[in-house]
Structure 1
Amino acid sequence: MRYEQLADLPCSITRPLVVLGDRWTLLVLKEAFSGVRRFNAFQSNLGIPRSRLQDRLGRLVDHEILVRRQADDGDHAEYRLTRKGHDLYPVLMAIKDWGDAHMAPDGPPVRYRHRECTGEARVALACDCCGELMTAHDVHPEPGPGLQPYVEAGARN
């Protein structure tokens, strides 16, 4: 199966990976969450080749994660996170939590503090019904409504 064909699979983990699943895209998003908006700033902060950055920014714009618009000063275009883009913040924080736990032997290189109380931002998996914290051992995947069209298409073939 070709990488692009993965977007057609009925899986809410696989589909986003087609858009987000390379290091440069996630690093571009990390920079965007840090307030970077201009192409040249992304390029100089990351050291990414210009053509690769154009591709990644274009993909994020195509998927409505970023929007490209004229800067307030009118001199340059800038890239801003959309609501859909902002919804990715917990994903980056989950990666950060894992990195702090498993790849930071001297402790976290950056602390992400809550502005109100100085506590640290952490991602937790919790049940949407009872609020209990969960791990992979507590979760049981089962078919959802988005799978039905694929089941019906398979029955017809």
Structure 2
Amino acid sequence: MRYDDLADFPCSITRPLVILGDRWTLLVLKTSFTGIRRFNEFQRALGVSRSRLQDRLDRLVDHAILAKQKTPGSAHEEYRLTEKGHDLYPILMAIKDWGDVYMAPEGPPVHYQHRGCSGEAHVRLECDCCGSGLTARDIELAPGPGLLTEDGDRSRPDRAKT
């Protein structure tokens, strides 16, 4: 299967990887969350080639994760996170949490602190029904409404391939 064909694969983990699945895209997003908005600022912060950066910014704009806007009172344009873009923050924080545990032998290089109380920010997976904390060992898969059955029918989840 080609990489672009994965966009149609019925999986809510696989589909976003078509957009987000390379390091430069995630680094552009990480940098966006620090307040950087202009092309030259991204290029200076990341050290990525101009063509690669433009490709990643265009992809994020095409998918409404970033919005390209004129800077008020200036000829410059800037890239601003949309609500869809802001919703990606927990993903970056989950990667950060994992990196702090497994790839920071001297301790976290940066603390992500809550402005309100200076506590450390972490991602926590929990059940939306009972609120219990969860790990992969607590999860089981069940067919959802977006999964096609073998005959292409969405109306019978009991006949779906998982």
TM bucket normalised to smaller:
over 0.9
Q: Aligned partners of 2:51 and 2:36: how far apart in 1? A: 18
Alignment correspondent of 2:109: 109
Alignment correspondent of 1:14: 14
Q: Which runs of 4+ in 1 moved over 6 A?
A: none
Structure 1 position 72, deviation (Å): 1.7
1:122 aligns with 2:99: no
> What is the correspondence of 1:58-69 to structure 2 with a 5 Å cutoff?
58-69=58-69
Q: Which runs of 5+ in 1 are unaligned?
A: none
> What is the correspondence of 1:86-101 to structure 2 with a 5 Å cutoff?
86-101=86-101
**What one-letter code is carried by the residue in structure 1 that aligns with 2:145?**
P
Q: Aligned partners of 2:106 and 2:75: how far apart in 1? A: 43
Structure 1 position 75, deviation (Å): 2.1
Alignment correspondent of 1:153: 152
TM superposition score normalised by structure 1:
0.95
Cα-to-partner distance string for 1:96-124 (whole Å, 9 max, x where unaligned): 00000000000000000001111010001
Alignment correspondent of 1:46: 46
Asked which structure has the greater RCO (Cα within 8 Å, sep 6+), the reply is 1
Structure 1 position 25, deviation (Å): 0.2
**What one-letter code is carried by the residue in structure 2 that aligns with 1:153?**
G
Q: Which runs of 5+ in 2 are unaligned?
A: 154-158
Structure 1 position 153, deviation (Å): 1.9
**What one-letter code is carried by the residue in structure 2 that aligns with 1:34?**
T
Which has a greater percent of helix? 1
Alignment correspondent of 2:156: none
TM superposition score normalised by structure 2:
0.92
> Could you tell me the percent identity over the aligned residues?
66
RMSD value over aligned CA atoms? Answer: 1.3
